[in-house]
């Protein structure tokens, strides 16, 4: 279709603010999905089915819409990942658009992540169409939140659409606005092909499916192509669009959005942000903005049952096929056995990987306390990257330790400003900005160490603000800090799984909390078990698990030797599942509980 | 500390003799904590059972070995008339043979014995009696479901003594949730004063399948507290050792030279015949057990069918492990050269590292070729054994 009649846009929205329902209405009103086939959350369901191997991801859906001016337009609805961990992927998805719908729940107002993505869209010079959703709800306060949005993006309150995606109220008007206000793509149809890879997914049968936006030129089916950054050559075996089912086409024209299957089996060859060009390679520049995914959070993943190690390796290899950002290498822990040190984009990414390993591969796992990556400057001028506290070099050799900082954005009702600031200060935060979105709501920006927010920051933020605050963060660089490694010793034996790196001022708190936690989790043994936290050889906290006093069969005579032996064998079997640290037997559950980071803390 | 007088040793031995266990599966009243094979209200069956048991004794093959110890257990053997017990014992003497000086024990409930009965038992050839006293505090006895009084229990000990039994054991039970420290002290002191030469003191164990277990599991009775039981065990050790009793097994104390030979045979993994309903026997690594139900036992005998209902053959490793599990219950521990001679070197060799670790940790002691639990780890023997087995 003619470039002038194309409109590509994404929906920026917080979880539950109605993105899926709005997509349903758009699919329905444009006739992309018939009323008969319509089901709630249509695209989400397609994704779920994709997980079960039925169809491929609805990363971009093409709709055809005849507007009030009687002209027929091609609308491309481009999906964006919903979380800060995937900020880079969001930026690439936005790079495939000319406009966004800023969709805000009229009962809740704009949330931190939405704000982050909005800023991304504004930075990318995209047309922003503000939309208040759920105006049919009794709790809706459209005037209040419209004012907030207006001041935020500098528009007139009257320009903000008020809709109910559920009832469809206001959606046709919104469609017309999309056509009127979002500009058509600006690419050069006569230039050599340049297509942006903005998403990809691995299909067991087809290999890697790349989602692309044709920026310049056009792409024909079966054309030889090159992935520029990866330096990989392939053929366009199949190209097509999602409408919403995948539909092969013979050519994707300038500005169009679709998928590209080229027989590539290795997802790392199809990088989000890469540029697809023809072969032989013309003299063109790669599209701007490509970045290598950078793991920010690290954790050891261990099978509870040591025999499952090969299964875990296979599972990670398979996950890696459609998760190019996941990195892992084998490591061994004295306490947890053999496992993998994994690197994640962030906490949600970590939680997703863990859940998929457990759910899709039926593995029982222990995940060690998450850590960030530190840069350690040694006295011999060498620099080491430390992603696991047990790798921390001896203190005497360390000149300086650098840790990653993030810019944290909290959006909260202003009555909770005090507690939020207190929390951030306690976590070594430095206040950068406070911005009132409205008299009732404030956006607070802090710079703070990433290591301070990967444990329970989100949980505490939620409880400090009765659940009203939202959180977002992005990396801002490495800074020197006064950090120490705290070891935990059971019966004088260090347990690597419990070592951590913390700021010197927090070492005592960590040591005290961990020793107390372990005292409650470690069952009594046949001797007193001291639990110590130490920095080097200096003990900073100590607890004791008192010896159990009686664990003996009162009677054992000729009539019950076999039974008593079996009783002992059962008891022994129970102990076999424990980890032995010196003479101390530690149940797996103690590791799991002691290392537990409440999963809620990651679902920002 | 460890005493040996004649044949009556309290030490582990590689050659503990040959035992005969006879099971009398009847009680007047079943205690709610009991998980033994015993039945109430089968009085009509008693006589037939005695006859069947005698027949079955006639059928058994002692392999040319004579009994060095015989033990009538239950149930309540003394629920049977002395004449019945005498007939059974005669059958054993006739078909198996008795070593001169064999120990012949009968378990007795205080309510089922008096001096006359003890006279008759002594006359029949019994020379050791084990009396179930459990407690000398009425409230505790009632809670345990015991129907005898403290006076009756003590009187039974006196009666056995007056009849001329030289070997008298008193069974006690401690650590029930209804017992205080002073209750336990009362029981200990009362029993010591009655002067048995042997005292068994067991921690109340809530066994699965018992009415007590159901009560505890459903919260209708408090559970036992292992810490309190440990304290009671320590108190027993103090009081009894002050009265010259030596603890020679986890739950058994005796005056020097008065250990139970039959029980030392069990803990030395010796061979014994198991006769009667539900009785277990052991012959050179083969364990077997008999039909449990008395009525079914009787009908098997009358149908000339085997009364054995199951068996297991222990492999060398299991046999050695079992021997260690049993032997470490004895305060003497296990004589390692003898152990190796009997079970081969593999078991110990394969555990050299963990043995060294447990010795270094002070949980096991080794001296003059004996391996034993240290005094401090007797009460956590399961933990030690789990590491060893």
- Same domain (yes/no): A166, A101: yes
Token readout for A566 is 């079996």
- Residue B359 vs residues A492, B320, B355, B387: alpha-carbon distances, Å: 18, 19, 6, 12
Handedness of CA A420, A422, A426, A428 (dihedral sign): positive
The pLDDT of residue A582 is above 90: no
With helix as H, strand as E and coil as C, how does A24-78 read? HHHHHHCCCCCCCCCCCCHHHHHHHHHHCCCCCCCCEEEEEEECCCCCEEEEEEE
Q: Across residues A392-419, what is the average pLDDT?
A: 92
- Same domain (yes/no): A491, A473: no
ipTM associated with this complex: 0.90
Q: In A, which residues are within 8 Å of B265 by CB distance?
A: 558
Q: Across residues A56-69, what is the average pLDDT?
A: 83
Q: Across residues B163-183, what is the average pLDDT?
A: 96
The CATH number for A242's domain is: 2.40.30.10
The pLDDT of residue B62 is above 80: yes
Round to whole Å and give the CA distance between B211 and B214: 5
Nearest chain A residue (CA) to B270:
A558
- Residue A474 vs residues A81, A477, A597, B374: alpha-carbon distances, Å: 15, 10, 21, 60
A74 part of a folded domain:
yes
The CATH number for B107's domain is: 3.20.20.70
A290 part of a folded domain:
no
**What pLDDT was estimated at residue A601?**
33
- Same domain (yes/no): B148, B238: yes
- Same domain (yes/no): A412, A471: yes
Band (pLDDT 50/70/90 cuts) for residue B296 is: very high
Nearest chain B residue (CA) to A570:
B386
**What pLDDT was estimated at residue A33?**
87
Which residue's entry shows tokens 């010079």? A125
B121 part of a folded domain:
yes
B368 part of a folded domain:
yes
Size of chain A in residues: 604
Out of A355-359, A373-377, B65-69, least confident range? A355-359
**What pLDDT was estimated at residue B5?**
36
Helices A19-29 + A171-181 axis angle, to 10: 80
Q: Across residues A532-553, what is the average pLDDT?
A: 95
- Same domain (yes/no): B235, B334: no
The residue with greater pLDDT, A563 or A292, is A563
Q: How far does CA A588 lie from the centroid of its chain?
A: 27
A69 part of a folded domain:
yes
Band (pLDDT 50/70/90 cuts) for residue A83 is: low
Q: Across residues B246-274, what is the average pLDDT?
A: 96
Q: Are strands A365-367 and A297-303 parallel, antiparallel or unpaired?
A: antiparallel
- Same domain (yes/no): A526, A472: no
* Of A527, A555, A559, Cβ closest to residue B251: A555
Domain count, chain B: 2
pLDDT tens per residue across span A457-467: 888 888 888 88
Q: In A, which residues are within 8 Å of B312 by CB distance?
A: 562
Mean pLDDT of chain B: 94
**What pLDDT was estimated at residue A456?**
76
Q: Are strands B67-74 and B308-313 parallel, antiparallel or unpaired?
A: unpaired
pLDDT tens per residue across span B122-140: 999 999 999 999 999 999 9
Give A32's Cβ-side CA count (13 Å radius). 29
The CATH number for A477's domain is: 3.30.70.240
B260 touches A: beta carbon within 8 Å: no
Round to whole Å and give the CA distance between A136 and A169: 9
**What pLDDT was estimated at residue A135?**
94
**What pLDDT was estimated at residue A460?**
86
- Same domain (yes/no): B227, B362: no
Nearest chain A residue (CA) to B251:
A554
Band (pLDDT 50/70/90 cuts) for residue A50 is: low
- Same domain (yes/no): A171, A32: yes
Best residue of A523, A545, A559 to probe chain B, by most B CBs closer than 10 Å: A559
- Same domain (yes/no): B91, B233: yes
- Same domain (yes/no): B232, B343: no
Q: Across residues A581-587, what is the average pLDDT?
A: 86
B34 touches A: beta carbon within 8 Å: no
- Same domain (yes/no): A237, A328: no
B227 touches A: beta carbon within 8 Å: yes
Contact B57, B46 (CB under 8 A): no
Round to whole Å and give the CA distance between A348 and A113: 13
Domain count, chain A: 5
The residue with greater pLDDT, A322 or A469, is A469
- Is the CB of B227 less than 8 angstroms away from the CB of A549? yes
* Of B278, B361, B382, Cβ closest to residue A552: B382
- Same domain (yes/no): B135, B259: yes
- Same domain (yes/no): B261, B335: no
- Same domain (yes/no): B225, B355: no
Contact B160, B102 (CB under 8 A): no
Out of A4-8, A377-381, A441-445, B146-150, least confident range? A377-381
- Same domain (yes/no): A7, A133: yes
A286 part of a folded domain:
no
The CATH number for A505's domain is: 3.30.70.2570
B238 part of a folded domain:
yes
Round to whole Å and give the CA distance between A358 and A599: 14
Contact A517, A533 (CB under 8 A): no
Round to whole Å and give the CA distance between B11 and B261: 10
pLDDT tens per residue across span B252-262: 999 999 999 99
**What pLDDT was estimated at residue A603?**
32
Q: Across residues B339-349, what is the average pLDDT?
A: 96
B280 part of a folded domain:
no
A346, A368, A390: which is the final residue of a domain? A368
The pLDDT of residue B7 is above 60: no
- Residue A22 vs residues A12, A101, A103, A175, A177: alpha-carbon distances, Å: 12, 10, 9, 11, 15
- Is the CB of A554 less than 8 angstroms away from the CB of B205? yes
Interface of A with B (CB under 8 A): 525-527, 547-562, 564-565, 568-569, 571-572, 575, 583
- Is the CB of B379 less than 8 angstroms away from the CB of A559? no
- Same domain (yes/no): A240, A358: no
- Same domain (yes/no): A149, A107: yes
- Same domain (yes/no): B234, B363: no
The pLDDT of residue A423 is above 60: yes
**What pLDDT was estimated at residue A57?**
60
B290 part of a folded domain:
no
Mean pLDDT of chain A: 89
SS3 category, A235: strand
Contact A571, B382 (CB under 8 A): yes
A601 part of a folded domain:
no
Round to whole Å and give the CA distance between A7 and A60: 12
- Same domain (yes/no): A359, A255: no
Round to whole Å and give the CA distance between A449 and A551: 48
Contact A78, A101 (CB under 8 A): no
> Where in A53-159 does DSSP place strands (E)?
60-66, 72-78, 99-105, 127-133
CA distance B46 to chain A (A): 21
The CATH number for A56's domain is: 3.40.50.300
Which of A61, A127, A62, A120 shows the shortest CA–CA distance to A99? Answer: A127
Band (pLDDT 50/70/90 cuts) for residue A55 is: very low
A441, A461, A481: which is the final residue of a domain? A481
B193 part of a folded domain:
yes
- Is the CB of A550 less than 8 angstroms away from the CB of B226? yes
- Per the structure, the complete domain to which residue A459 belongs is given by 375-481
- Same domain (yes/no): A102, A14: yes
- Same domain (yes/no): B383, B237: no
Q: How far does CA B158 lie from the centroid of its chain?
A: 22
- Same domain (yes/no): A519, A442: no
B293 part of a folded domain:
no
B242 part of a folded domain:
yes
A278, A310, A326: which is the final residue of a domain? A278
**What pLDDT was estimated at residue A37?**
84
Band (pLDDT 50/70/90 cuts) for residue A598 is: very low
Torsion-angle region of A216 (φ positive above 0: left; ψ -120 to 50: alpha; else: beta): beta
pLDDT tens per residue across span A92-116: 899 999 999 999 999 999 988 888 8
pLDDT tens per residue across span A555-564: 999 988 989 9
Best residue of B22, B209, B385, B388 to probe chain A, by most A CBs closer than 10 Å: B385
B232, B267, B302: which is the final residue of a domain? B267
Give A411's Cβ-side CA count (13 Å radius). 19
Alpha-carbon torsion, ordered A446, A448, A452, A458, to 10 deg: 20
The pLDDT of residue A47 is above 70: no
The CATH number for A311's domain is: 3.30.70.870
Band (pLDDT 50/70/90 cuts) for residue A604 is: very low
- Same domain (yes/no): B256, B341: no
- Per the structure, the complete domain to which residue B351 belongs is given by 330-388
Residues of chain A with pLDDT > 90: what percent? 58
The pLDDT of residue A56 is above 60: no
Round to whole Å and give the CA distance between B365 and B58: 45
Which residues fall within 8 angstroms of residue A352, CB to CB, at 6 or more apart? Answer: none
pLDDT tens per residue across span A224-276: 999 999 999 999 999 999 988 889 999 999 999 999 999 898 888 888 899 99
**What pLDDT was estimated at residue A304?**
85
């Amino acid at each position: 279709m003619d470039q002038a009649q194309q409109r590509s846009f994404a929906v920026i929205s917080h979880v539950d603010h109605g993105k899926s329902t709005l997509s349903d209405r758009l699919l329905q009103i444009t006739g992309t999905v018939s009323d008969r086939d319509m089901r709630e959350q249509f695209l989400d369901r397609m994704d779920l089915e994709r997980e079960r191997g039925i169809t491929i991801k609805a990363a971009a859906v093409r709709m055809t819409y005849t507007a009030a001016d009687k002209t027929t337009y091609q609308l491309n609805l481009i999906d964006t990942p919903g979380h800060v961990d995937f900020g880079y992927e969001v930026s690439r998805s936005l790079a495939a658009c000319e406009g966004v719908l800023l969709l805000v729940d009229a009962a809740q107002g704009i949330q931190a992540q939405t704000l982050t993505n909005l800023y991304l869209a504004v930075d990318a010079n995209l047309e922003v169409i503000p939309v208040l959703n759920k105006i049919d709800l009794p709790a809706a306060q459209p005037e209040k939140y419209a004012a907030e949005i207006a001041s935020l993006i500098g528009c007139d309150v009257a320009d903000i659409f008020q809709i109910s995606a559920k009832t469809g109220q206001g959606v046709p008007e919104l469609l017309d606005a999309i056509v009127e206000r979002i500009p058509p793509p600006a690419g050069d149809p006569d230039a050599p092909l340049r297509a942006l890879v903005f998403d990809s997914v691995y299909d067991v049968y087809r290999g890697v499916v790349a989602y692309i936006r044709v920026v310049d030129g056009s792409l024909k089916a079966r054309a030889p192509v090159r992935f520029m950054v990866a330096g990989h050559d392939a053929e366009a075996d199949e190209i097509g669009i999602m409408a919403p089912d995948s539909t092969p086409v013979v050519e994707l024209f300038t500005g169009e959005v679709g998928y590209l299957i080229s027989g590539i089996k290795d997802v790392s060859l199809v990088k989000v942000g890469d540029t697809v060009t023809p072969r032989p390679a013309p003299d063109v520049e790669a599209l701007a903005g490509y970045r290598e995914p950078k793991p920010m959070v690290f954790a050891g993943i261990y099978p509870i049952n040591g025999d499952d190690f090969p299964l875990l390796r296979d599972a990670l290899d398979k996950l890696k096929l459609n998760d190019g950002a996941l990195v892992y290498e084998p490591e061994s822990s004295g306490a947890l056995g053999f496992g993998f040190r994994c690197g994640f984009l962030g906490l949600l990414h970590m939680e997703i990987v863990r859940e998929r390993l457990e759910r899709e591969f039926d593995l029982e796992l222990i995940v060690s306390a998450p850590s960030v990556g530190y840069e350690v400057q040694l006295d011999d001028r060498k620099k080491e990257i430390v992603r696991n506290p047990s790798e921390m070099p001896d203190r005497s050799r360390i000149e300086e330790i650098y840790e990653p900082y993030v810019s944290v954005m909290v959006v909260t009702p202003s009555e909770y400003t005090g507690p939020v600031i207190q929390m951030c200060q306690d976590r070594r935060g430095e206040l950068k900005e406070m911005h009132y979105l409205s008299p009732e709501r404030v956006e607070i920006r802090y710079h703070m160490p990433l290591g301070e927010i990967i444990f329970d920051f989100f949980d505490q933020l939620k409880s400090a603000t009765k659940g009203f605050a939202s959180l977002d963060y992005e990396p801002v660089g490495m800074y020197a800090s006064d950090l120490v490694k705290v070891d935990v010793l059971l019966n004088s034996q260090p347990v690597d799984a419990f070592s951590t790196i913390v700021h010197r001022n927090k070492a005592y708190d960590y040591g005290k909390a961990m020793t107390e936690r372990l005292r409650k989790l470690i069952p009594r043994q046949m001797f007193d078990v001291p639990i110590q936290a130490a920095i080097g050889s200096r003990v900073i906290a100590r607890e004791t698990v008192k010896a159990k006093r009686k664990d003996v069969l009162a009677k054992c005579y000729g009539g019950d030797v076999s039974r008593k032996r079996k009783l002992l064998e059962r008891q022994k079997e129970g102990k076999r599942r424990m980890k032995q640290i010196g003479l101390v037997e530690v149940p797996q559950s103690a590791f799991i509980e002691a290392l537990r980071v409440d999963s809620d803390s990651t679902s920002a | 500390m460890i005493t040996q007088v004649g044949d009556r040793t309290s030490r582990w031995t590689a050659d503990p003799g040959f035992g005969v266990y006879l099971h009398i599966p009847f009680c007047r009243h079943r205690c709610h904590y009991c998980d033994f094979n015993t039945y109430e209200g089968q009085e009509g069956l008693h006589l037939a059972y005695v006859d069947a048991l005698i027949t079955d004794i006639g059928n058994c093959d002692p392999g040319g070995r004579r009994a060095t110890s015989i033990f009538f257990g239950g149930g309540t053997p003394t629920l049977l008339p002395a004449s019945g017990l005498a007939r059974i014992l005669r059958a054993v003497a006739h078909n198996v043979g008795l070593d001169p000086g064999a120990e012949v024990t009968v378990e007795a409930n205080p309510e089922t014995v008096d001096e006359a009965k003890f006279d008759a038992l002594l006359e029949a050839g019994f020379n050791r009696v084990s009396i179930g006293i459990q407690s000398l505090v009425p409230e505790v006895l009632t809670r345990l479901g015991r129907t005898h009084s403290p006076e009756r229990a003590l009187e039974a000990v006196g009666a056995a003594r007056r009849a001329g039994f030289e070997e008298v054991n008193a069974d006690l039970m401690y650590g029930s949730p209804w017992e205080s420290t002073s209750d336990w002290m009362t029981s200990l002191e009362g029993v010591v004063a009655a002067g048995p030469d042997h005292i068994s003191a067991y921690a109340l164990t809530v066994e699965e399948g018992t009415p007590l277990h159901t009560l505890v599991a459903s919260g209708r009775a408090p559970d036992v507290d292992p810490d309190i039981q440990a304290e009671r065990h320590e108190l027993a050790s103090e009081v009894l050792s002050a009265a010259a009793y030596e603890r020679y097994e986890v739950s058994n104390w005796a005056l020097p030279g008065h250990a139970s030979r039959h029980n030392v045979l069990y803990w030395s993994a010796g061979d014994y015949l198991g006769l009667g309903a539900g009785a277990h026997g052991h012959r050179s690594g083969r364990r077997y057990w008999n039909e449990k139900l008395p009525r079914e036992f009787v009908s098997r005998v009358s149908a000339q069918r085997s009364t054995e209902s199951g068996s297991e053959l222990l492999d060398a490793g299991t046999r050695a492990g079992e021997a260690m599990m049993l032997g470490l219950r004895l305060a003497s521990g296990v004589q390692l050269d003898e152990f190796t001679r009997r079970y081969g070197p593999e078991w110990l060799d394969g555990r050299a590292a963990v043995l060294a670790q447990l010795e270094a940790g002070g949980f096991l002691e080794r001296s003059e070729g004996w391996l034993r639990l240290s005094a401090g780890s007797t009460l956590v023997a399961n933990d030690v054994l789990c590491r060893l087995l």
